[in-house]
Amino acid sequence: MSDLLNRRLALLGERANLSLLEQCLHGIERECLRVTDTGHLAQTPHPEALGSALTNEQITTDYSESLLEFITPAQADVADTLHSLDKIHRFAYSKLGNEYLWSPSMPCPLPAEEDIPIAYYGTSNIGRLKYVYRQGLALRYGKTMQCIAGIHYNFSLPEKLWPLLRQAEAVEASDRDFQSSAYIALIRNFRRYSWLLMYLFGASPALDAGFLRGRPHQLEQLDPDTLYLPYATSLRMSDLGYQSNAQAGLTPCYNDLASYTDSLRKAVATPYAPYVEVGTHKNGEWVQLNTNILQIENEYYSNIRPKRVTYTGERPIQALMARGIQYVEVRCLDINPFLPMGIDLTESRFLDAFLLYCGLNDSPLLENNECSNATNNFLTVVKEGRRPGLQLQRQGQSVDMQAWAIELLEKIAPLASLLDESQGGDAHRQALDAQLAKVRDPSLTPSAQVLAAMAQHQESFAQFSLRQSKAHAEFFRAKPLPTQEQSAFEENARQSLAQQAELEQNEEGDFDVFVGAYQASILAISN
């Protein structure tokens, strides 16, 4: 173990500091498609009973009108975060009629590309901006690709931790800058080690054959309706033949916050020839927000993002530059189709120990080929993670994936113990042991279990997924929310609709001017 990590563990293990680790914050965002009882994409509008997708803070839509997104508040105990997520699911199911929430990450059999509905947010300028942005995504990457769902895990270390570490390590920087550089260091380590998460939690080894729309691919045919790779863990996180050429040159390697924000700022302000050729309007209607590499910074697809809560009208990048990094958003987690919420407490507890290890361990800068090695290791594991004898690259040498995974888990163990010491019990240690079992026996991984369940029931990917979706619906519907909680959700939904209506009634100014001002806000800080 590194000296730095040892010193930090000792400091946090002191009686006066131990309670700090109870103050980590956790938030979860879960995306899921609404489907019909035959397992096809629901073509109905976002249910009004769930409130306004524009202004409801807990239930919104992502890319498609059919792609729900559930958002929990940030809470100190991740068990409370999961409890919040459970309640959102129960409320949603009370309003879904005969529709279901699709259980895995990879989509149900989809209609023709043009029949996938883009999420609609009403007639306010901000609502229209969100819609045009999604039209731009359709134009740039196709609608099919946008129907993939995932789990985003938001995690922050306690604010009081950073001054403590900075003083102990006699670092000459403001608390804010020290905190930001520590989160960037966490992200670098995450890039190094996130292949492990794909092995442990990847749950998309197969997909509906129609998903690829006849494009060339390297997948194998499992049955007439299903494509797969025998050792894949997460086809969701593989390239699947979709390459964003525009984003290919965009590789922020997270050596400091300034270079990260700089690369995104440039991408949002740099024209990309094929998009310029299309233009922003077609027949007088907006089709994309601009013709640059990225329309907005969130268009950059990454496995983890540095984040800060934004003020009204503020862009993510402005918030980061003004006030530094507040938390990280882990974006590479598949939805586990065996779990009603797609994630559980065991996974969450392990993620905490893993992220703490990434955040407290030494994190040298990523030199050029280490950056591409990290990417290659990740892509190797998503396509072949369960292949016996699989080799990854570490410091220019081939290394056995299983041996490296065991070594990593041994290094994470003291972090799990520290979390248990801080919170009481041994839940983190148990979560770590569950992961060790998967490394030793690949048949215990969610990806292997998906293929095993499909084989056992002689089901296609779509049949398996629909069966799971119906089982989860039964789980949530069997135990409705207590009346008071149900009423609170309903009131929240009503208020969000009123809020949207008010926005639309009081809208001032022309949409074109609004978009212009939005673009200018990023250009203003790029000088």
Helix, strand, coil in percent for the chain, rounding step 5: 55, 15, 35
Answer whether residue 144 is part of any domain.
no
Answer whether residue 285 is part of any domain.
no
Q: What is the CATH number of the domain that holds 22?
A: 3.30.590.20
Answer whether residue 131 is part of any domain.
no
Q: In the prediction, which pLDDT does 218 show?
A: 92
- Asked if pLDDT for residue 67 goes beyond 50, the answer is yes
Answer whether residue 129 is part of any domain.
no
- Report the C-alpha dihedral over residues 180, 183, 189, 194, rounded to 10 degrees: -140
Closest Cα to residue 59, out of 47, 46, 50, 48?
Answer: 50
Lowest mean pLDDT among 18-27, 302-311, 312-321: 312-321
Query: What residue ranges in 225-379 does DSSP mark as E strands?
Result: 226-228, 281-282, 285-286, 304-307, 327-333
pLDDT in tens, 101-144: 999 999 999 999 999 999 999 999 999 999 999 999 999 999 99
Q: Is the pTM of this model over 0.95?
A: yes
* Interval 442-462 mean pLDDT: 98
Q: In the prediction, which pLDDT does 253 show?
A: 66
pLDDT in tens, 398-450: 999 999 999 999 999 999 999 999 999 999 999 999 999 999 999 999 999 99
Answer whether residue 118 is part of any domain.
no
* Interval 55-68 mean pLDDT: 98
Q: In the prediction, which pLDDT does 2 show?
A: 87
Q: In the prediction, which pLDDT does 525 show?
A: 67
Q: In the prediction, which pLDDT does 369 show?
A: 86
Q: In the prediction, which pLDDT does 527 show?
A: 46
Is residue 154 exposed (0-12), middle (13-18) or buried (19+ Cβ within 10 Å)?
Answer: buried
* Interval 229-241 mean pLDDT: 92
* Domains in the chain, number: 1
Helix (H), strand (E) at residue 26:
strand 25-35
Residue in the structure block whose two tokens are 């530059």: 321
* Interval 314-326 mean pLDDT: 94
Residue in the structure block whose two tokens are 């020839």: 273
pLDDT in tens, 344-381: 999 999 999 999 999 999 999 998 788 889 999 999 99
Answer whether residue 256 is part of any domain.
no
Answer whether residue 412 is part of any domain.
yes
Lowest mean pLDDT among 88-92, 236-240, 455-459: 236-240
Residue count of the chain, please give it.
527
> Where in the sequence is the domain holding 225, given as residue range(s)?
3-110+149-240+302-308+326-523
Answer whether residue 479 is part of any domain.
yes
Q: What is the mean pLDDT of the chain?
A: 95
